[in-house]
Amino acid sequence: MTEPNNPDKTVEVSVSTTPESLESNQAAAPVHGEKHATKTGSKNEAVDSPGWERATLEKLAFASLTEQRLARRWRTFMRLAWLAFFITVAWLVISQNGASRAALKPHTAVVEIKGEIASDTDASADAIVASLRDAFEDAGAQAVVLLINSPGGSPVQAGIINDELLRLKAKHKKPVYAVVEETCASAAYYIAVAADKIYVDKASIVGSIGVLMDGFGFTGLMEKLGVERRLMTAGENKGFLDPFSPQTEKQRVFAQAMLNQIHQQFIDVVKAGRGTRLKETPETFSGLFWSGQQAIELGLADQFGNLDFVAREVVKAEDIIDYTRRENVAERLVKRFGASIGQGAVRAIQSTPTLR
C-alpha cells in the first residue's frame, strides 16, 4: 500500500559527493573550458606520440637539402652569367681592335685623335701609334687621315706620335692628311703638322703654339690660417714646384728656361712640317689660336674640307675604315667602378709641363 502523504513529516535532501556525481558535474561545465581541455590534450598527445622526434628531424633535413639545392643553382647561374660576360667582352675586344684584315678593296684609313692627349686617355701615344701602324700596314689603305678634335695635352705624347708618323710615312710611302673638326690646338697641332695637308672647317679653332706649366701656391692662405708647412728634403731643389712652399727666383728662372726650350722644339716641328706654306708673323708662335679661315690665310692649314671630302676628292677612295683603337668594355667597367677618389684634385695641383 502506498503510504499517505504526511505534511508533518520532514523530507531530507542530500547532495551526493560520490565520484559518479563529480563526473556528472564536470560534464555540465561551461563550453569554453571544454575547448581548453581539448587543445591541451592534443598538444600533449603530439609530444607524447611515438616518432615525433624523427618527424621533426626529417623536416629539418628536407629544409636543409632544399636550401643547399637553391644555393647550388644560384652558384651555377652566377658562373654562367660571368662566363657569358667574359665571352661578350672578348668578342667586343676582338671586334673593336681595328678593321678586318681580310682582303679589302681600296679605302681611306681613319685614325681619330679626340680629347686630351695624355698617357691615360684614348688619345695616348700608345693607342694612336698602334692604330697608325694598323692603318699603314693594311695594303688596301690608300691614305691615312687623322681626324682631329682635341685641345692639346702632353708634349711628350704628341712628340712620340709626330715622330712615328714621319717614320711610317717614309716606310710605307702613303700620304697622310689631317682633318680638323672643332679644335686642333697646341699638342694636337703638334701632331697635325706631320701630315701632308691640313683640312679645316672655316670655324675650326687652330693654333695655340705655346707651352704652359700651371699649378697653385697656397703659402699666403697657409699664413692666414696659421698652418705651418714642414717639408724635409735631401737636395736643394727637391721641393721644386711644391704648391705649399714659396717659389724662389732661381726656381722660377729654371722653370722658364725649360718652358722656352720645349716651346722652341714645338716651333721647329711646325716650321719643318709646314715649310714655305707658313706665313710667319710675330703672333704665330705666341700661343694665340685662330679660326679655320684665318689659319688658311696664315699657312697653318691648307684648305677647307671634311672627312668625306678628303676621302672622295683627295684620296679617291670613298670607302672609309676606322682603325682607331678604343677602350674596351672591360676597361670601361674597371675605371667606372674603381676610379680613384680625388683624381681631379690631384691633377689640379700637378705642375708637369703640358701643351694645351
Gyration radius of the chain's alpha carbons = 44
Identity at 207, one-letter amino acid code: G
Q: Is the pLDDT of residue 310 over 60?
A: yes
DSSP letter for each residue of 222-239: HHHHTPPP----SSTTTT
Backbone angles phi, psi at 153, to 5 degrees: 160, -135
pLDDT of residue 249: 86
User: How far apart are alpha carbons 215 and 347 in whole angstroms?
Assistant: 9
Q: What confidence tens digit (pLDDT) does each residue in 237-250 have?
A: 787 777 777 778 88
pLDDT of residue 333: 54
pLDDT of residue 222: 67
Which DSSP letter does residue 354 get?
A: B
CA-CA distances (angstroms) from residue 175 to 161, 170, 221, 314, 326? 16, 10, 55, 10, 24
Q: What confidence tens digit (pLDDT) does each residue in 10-66 have?
A: 444 344 444 444 344 444 444 444 444 444 444 455 455 567 777 787 788 888 888
Query: What is the chain's length?
Result: 356
pLDDT of residue 353: 41
User: How far apart are alpha carbons 3 and 27 in whole angstroms?
Assistant: 37
Instruction: Name the pLDDT band for 95 (thresholds 50, 70, 90).
Output: low
Greater model confidence, 42 or 201: 201
Helices 52-96, 329-338: inter-axial angle, 10-degree rounding: 120
- pTM for this entry: 0.65
Q: What percent of the chain has pLDDT over 90?
A: 47
DSSP letter for each residue of 166-195: HHHHHHH---EEEEEEEEEETHHHHHHTTS
Place of cell 520532514: 10
pLDDT of residue 29: 43
Q: Quote the distance between the C-alpha of residue 79 and its chain's center.
A: 24
